[in-house]
Structure 1
Amino acid sequence: MMSSRLPDSPDTVAASALPPLMRPLPSYLAARQSNPVFPAGRWITPTPDAPVIPPEIVRKALEVLQSVVGAEGNSGTMIVHRGYLLWAGENVSHKGHVWSCTKSINSICLGLLWDDGRCSPDDLAARYLPSLARDYPEVTLRHMATFTSGIHLEALSLDPGPPNFAVGAAMHYSQELDLLAYILTRIAGEPLSELFRRRIADPIGMSPAGWEWKSVNTRDGLPINGGAGMPENGMYMTAENLARLGWLFANNGKWDGRELISKRYIEHACVARVSPHTPMHDPADWYHQLPGRYGLSWWTNGVDSTGRRLWPSAPDNTFAAQGNNNNICIIVPEWQLVIVRTAQDKVIDVALFDGVFKALSETPRS
């Protein structure tokens, strides 16, 4: 089949030379669906005429993903586009520890309480836990959710020691979200697992047997679900359930027309809230890639101090719940896309997922 094209001119830039998101998007990503699909029970597979990513493109993206992840490959992977299930590995119904994806779920509870008018990210933490007033009088819930509070907290403890640094002076990816979970529990007056179940998990059809949020301790007569995501107290969840959560967030907090969490919270929490020039408390630690790319306990497609986005081939407003050992739920609202992977196989450089976005956004050859 012959094709025609305009001749090159000094003012014409070849499409292949453009950054990925300056190229024309394939139609299956560029056009939003006015009535997205929401699974009432089982996930819905697309009909032949559904406006979704073509199978051959999905296969290429899965090949890229397989090449960068660990031994479990794509067995715990799901790809959801416009609400349709395009791919599910054989282990997506296995309930496993999702590590620091727990942090984002803890942040969701903050969002629910904010929506209810019971707290705000800028509230002082000591307002809800007066014992913090001595060492941490200026720390807000936002500082805690972004790891810029300076709070020193040992693993599996809810009793902080003296500050690591002055509030806002650095970033320290640490256990302090367990303490934030304790504060949110005090505000809610109930375990966060119950708040999450009633307000989010049940309405979007998450299987009750497919998730469990363990507790770090009991205070004030209430179990304190861990906010940091350690094995002893974090969230355990199937990929199927995590994908439902991602699809809720891809639709600005609405599930089949019903708002479960506000668009205000999502737009506030799921964009970068840590300056790219924020120093790390421990310069040798792994989290050097987070300043400029971290929201309220969500990973974002923000820009680091070198000016580079985490995923250059994805839209700027892409964000993710991310955990150790290749556990991740990536949400691309602009493409109505959710990619989930659960596993326990390998520490990964999250930037490598950019190859998956690149494969998905390349126009198929005719």
Structure 2
Amino acid sequence: MEFPKESWKEASPESQGVNPKKLNEAMDYLAGVSGQQGNRQALVIRNGFVIWKGDETDNLHTVWSVSKSFTSTVLGLLVDEGKCTLDTKAAQYVPFLEEMYPDVTLRHLTTMTSGYCAVGNPPGGAGSLTPFVPAKPLYKPGEKYFYNNDGMHVLAYALTRIAGEPLKDIFRRRIADPVGIKNWEWRDFGVIDGILVNGGTDNIGVGVSITAEGMARLGHLFLNRGNWDGKQLISAEWIRQATSVQVPADLPELPYLPMYSDANHALGSGIYGFNWWVNGTKANGERNWKHAPPGTFYASGLNNNMCCVVPEWNLVFVRLGTDCSVKNSEYDIFWKIMSKAIAEYV
């Protein structure tokens, strides 16, 4: 397995066991369903070598809900250190939760099962401008699943209080610097109660911005179970848990905004881990992506920002952009072509 230094090493698809014609077919298909920006911010990496690369992979911009996977990675680091557990109650560190949310745990927040609701967020809404002003709970903790941006900001606030420092500083020191992510940002709410609080996601301009090449480094770290060229940066056990199904397939879901109804992401029962999406099986018995290997997992954000990891293929796929969202069924076609690129290589 190769690990990038200053830049990624490139190799021919053939040298990494991939049919170049089928690979190009898959990437052309992706371009056709991805809006004007197409595949220009896309990368395909196998065995640590870039085998396909767009011409704008160094563009820096927000990745919207991909930011959630950064937040849960910091949660994993704090769990590894013993500073908290998944069952730590958030109200221990977030006083405004004490009255209406005393039993909400970090696990509930990272799996979207907390029932948290903030003032100003309409039913099925994407979040409010006042995520730290609690409203009446949507449901009891663990009772249902609801894709919850306000809850992610509460998680980020709790983790900041647990750590005693901003999440960006932890991520830079423990992950970004060791793996060589240089061009990135993690915006914030400013100083709250004496400490700077980064956003838990980016629905209101407080999340992560990164390039496709930088994003691929985080994907490669997760592909290698937290080990970067011989150094364990985050525990393999955390990686295993974060990228496994943590929301039961039969857990009831609250409806979300119509704009996400067939797109990559709002309904997570059976296919959601700790802020990573998983190629699990839904309540209807169907796999999330039937043409991708079962072990596939990914970070996903608005406007077709994706970082997909396929352990069975030793592969990382990244597509970033700012222009459109892609239907889940369209991504399944992409994976169908990609599977042929690997299976049909001679």
Is the 8 Å Cα contact of residues 13 and 20 (structure 2) preserved in structure 1?
no
1:263-342 correspondence to structure 2 within 5 Å:
263-282=236-255, 285=258, 286=261, 289-342=267-320
Aligned-pair distance for 1:77?
Answer: 0.5
1:1-366 correspondence to structure 2 within 5 Å:
36-46=1-11, 50-154=15-119, 155-157=128-130, 158-174=132-148, 175-207=150-182, 210-282=183-255, 285=258, 286=261, 289-362=267-340, 363-364=343-344
Aligned-pair distance for 1:127?
Answer: 2.2
Where does structure 1 differ by over 4 angstroms across 4 or more consecutive aligned residues?
none
**TM-score of the aligned structures, taking structure 2 as reference length:** 0.90
- CA distance in structure 2 between the partners assigned to 1:332 and 1:249 by the alignment: 10
Aligned-pair distance for 1:115?
Answer: 0.7
Aligned-pair distance for 1:276?
Answer: 1.8
Specify the alignment match of 1:19 in structure 2. Answer: none
Runs of 5+ consecutive residues of structure 1 not aligned to the other structure: 1-35
- Number of matched pairs: 329
- CA distance in structure 2 between the partners assigned to 1:191 and 1:298 by the alignment: 22
Runs of 5+ consecutive residues of structure 2 not aligned to the other structure: 120-127
- CA distance in structure 1 between the partners assigned to 2:293 and 2:255 by the alignment: 31
Is the 8 Å Cα contact of residues 46 and 52 (structure 1) preserved in structure 2?
no
Specify the alignment match of 1:15 in structure 2. Answer: none
CA offsets 1:309-336 (integer angstroms, 9 cap, x no match):
1111222121101000000100111211
Aligned-pair distance for 1:51?
Answer: 3.0
> Which secondary structure state, in structure 2, belongs to the residue aligned with residue 322 of structure 1?
strand
- CA distance in structure 2 between the partners assigned to 1:101 and 1:201 by the alignment: 15
Seen in structure 2, the aligned counterparts of structure 1 residues 304 and 71 have a Cα distance that, compared at 3 Å, is same
Aligned-pair distance for 1:272?
Answer: 1.5
Aligned-pair distance for 1:304?
Answer: 1.0
- CA distance in structure 2 between the partners assigned to 1:90 and 1:215 by the alignment: 30
What residue identity is the alignment partner of 1:268?
Q
Aligned-pair distance for 1:55?
Answer: 2.2
CA offsets 1:198-255 (integer angstroms, 9 cap, x no match):
0000000112xx2100002421222111102225201111001001110110110111
- CA distance in structure 1 between the partners assigned to 2:76 and 2:204 by the alignment: 24
What RMSD, in angstroms, separates the aligned Cα atoms of the two structures? 1.8
CA offsets 1:289-326 (integer angstroms, 9 cap, x no match):
42111111111101111111111122212110100000
Is the 8 Å Cα contact of residues 330 and 338 (structure 1) preserved in structure 2?
yes
CA offsets 1:46-91 (integer angstroms, 9 cap, x no match):
2687334232232122122123222211011011110001112111
> Which secondary structure state, in structure 2, belongs to the residue aligned with residue 216 of structure 1?
strand
Aligned-pair distance for 1:134?
Answer: 1.9
What residue identity is the alignment partner of 2:247?
V
Aligned-pair distance for 1:151?
Answer: 0.8
- CA distance in structure 2 between the partners assigned to 1:139 and 1:49 by the alignment: 50
Identity %: 40
Is the 8 Å Cα contact of residues 136 and 151 (structure 1) preserved in structure 2?
yes
> Which secondary structure state, in structure 2, belongs to the residue aligned with residue 179 of structure 1?
helix
Seen in structure 2, the aligned counterparts of structure 1 residues 119 and 316 have a Cα distance that, compared at 3 Å, is same
- CA distance in structure 2 between the partners assigned to 1:149 and 1:39 by the alignment: 38
> Which secondary structure state, in structure 2, belongs to the residue aligned with residue 338 of structure 1?
strand
> Which secondary structure state, in structure 1, belongs to the residue aligned with residue 196 of structure 2?
strand
Is the 8 Å Cα contact of residues 182 and 224 (structure 1) preserved in structure 2?
yes
Seen in structure 2, the aligned counterparts of structure 1 residues 365 and 118 have a Cα distance that, compared at 3 Å, is closer
> Which secondary structure state, in structure 1, belongs to the residue aligned with residue 333 of structure 2?
helix
What residue identity is the alignment partner of 2:253?
M
> Which secondary structure state, in structure 2, belongs to the residue aligned with residue 330 of structure 1?
strand
CA offsets 1:254-274 (integer angstroms, 9 cap, x no match):
110111111111111111111
- CA distance in structure 2 between the partners assigned to 1:106 and 1:133 by the alignment: 22
- CA distance in structure 1 between the partners assigned to 2:184 and 2:256 by the alignment: 35
- CA distance in structure 2 between the partners assigned to 1:183 and 1:73 by the alignment: 38
Seen in structure 2, the aligned counterparts of structure 1 residues 47 and 166 have a Cα distance that, compared at 3 Å, is closer
Seen in structure 2, the aligned counterparts of structure 1 residues 325 and 283 have a Cα distance that, compared at 3 Å, is closer
- CA distance in structure 2 between the partners assigned to 1:270 and 1:48 by the alignment: 27
CA offsets 1:170-225 (integer angstroms, 9 cap, x no match):
22212210010000001111110010000000000112xx2100002421222111
